[in-house]
Structures are given as structure tokens and as C-alpha cells.
Copies of this chain bind each other. A is one copy, B any other.
């Protein structure tokens, strides 16, 4: 699944091609509180940024994630990975790209790339794996209706 992570070029540039239509992009800025004493954004924030991207991805499918939770379905993170390639500094503008790699009634996999805001160099890449549970944390199935909406091309 993650073969793009091993490609020679991936160390310096984004890998998702122009032809791939399924990803969306969000712009963010590094908050002061997200830096650490090394002077760069702390590694844990990347997972928060991945989540922001995920929220936007699903919103564009006309079924905001908060609606999915209201219907009683939760996309619980069971795996998270990030590869850090370039540091991010306070106030840096950057782009979060999100792609849905896999979606079934039981499981979802999202991939992410962070790019510099000005020249679109690769800052980080990663993925998260999710299972579907109800509000009690019991594994369940996403109904067909929600699946269809998320899989539909963005408007």
C-alpha cells in the first residue's frame, strides 16, 4: 500500500500525481504552542493535522464526520504512522493532502502528505487505519448509505 514511501524521489517531493483526483488539500499554519524547544513543530501535532485533513475530506463528501458520529458510528484509529522529512517552524504555512486509500463497512485507511505552502516540497507523509465502532466502542458496520456518500466523487 505504501510503496510511494519507498520511492527514491519521495524524500524531496510529493508523490501523489496530478492525475489522482481523489485527494483534497487544506492549508494550515504552525501555531506557536505547537513548537517545542528544538524550535520546530513537535511530532505529535502531525497526527492532529492528519485529523484536520480527514475531517475536511469527509466534509467534502457532503456528510460531515460529526454527522456520522451523530448517527452512532465512530471511525476509531487503530494504527497511525508518520515519516518526518523536513522540519516545520512557527507560523509556517503548509498544505495537508488527504487521500482515502481503502473503505469498507468495517475499515478505512487514509493517507496523508504535508507540503510546504510556497514551493510544495514534502514535509511529511503518513497514514491512519480506522475500524468502525458504535458509541459503546463495539465493532460494527458502516451502513451502505454512509459508505456511498464517502465514496462518491466530491461535488
Contact = CB atoms under 8 A, between A and B. Distances in A.
A37 B32 contact: yes
Q: Which of A38, A64, A81 has the most CB of B within 10 A?
A: A38
A84 interface: yes
A65 interface: yes
A29 B85 CA distance: 27
Contacts of A77: 43, 84
Interface in A83-138: 83-85, 87, 89-91, 128, 137
Contact of A51 (B32, B40, B64): B32
Contacts of A154: none
Interface in A32-66: 32-33, 35-40, 42-45, 47-48, 51-52, 55, 64-66
A80 interface: yes
Given A35-B36, A37-B36, A91 B78 contact: no
Nearest to A64: B91
Contact of A45 (B35, B44, B76, B89): B44
Contact of A79 (B78, B84, B137): B84
14 contacts: A31-B52, A32-B42, A32-B55, A32-B65, A35-B36, A37-B89, A37-B90, A43-B80, A43-B128, A44-B44, A44-B47, A47-B47, A55-B91, A78-B83
